[in-house]
Amino acid sequence: MVCHDLLKKAATIAGCVSYLAGVVSLAHHLLTHWNAGWAVVAVPASVAVAAVAGWAFHQAGK
């Protein structure tokens, strides 16, 4: 169905946007509040959040 295909595409795009937003947020944080100790925690956490959000949107789009 056309409607279902559009929803799948929208969910995939939303997942990509969410992932990119996480990457941009992480980059902004590192550039404005650089602290090596904090980065050890912030980097994996930000990547994990972005990955989970992207995966969830991808699953919703199936």
Per-residue pLDDT of the chain (62 residues; tens, 9 = 90+): 567 777 777 777 777 777 778 777 777 777 776 666 666 777 777 778 877 877 777 777 66
pTM above 0.85, yes or no: no
The full 3-state SS of the chain, as one line of letters, equals CHHHHHHHHHHHHHHHHHHHHHHHHHHHHHHHCCCHHHHHHHHHHHHHHHHHHHHHHHHHCC
What is the pLDDT, as a whole number, of residue 25?
A: 79
Rounded to the nearest 10°, the torsion over CA 26, 17, 53, 49 is: 0
**What gap in Å lies between CA 6 and CA 11, rounded to an integer?**
9
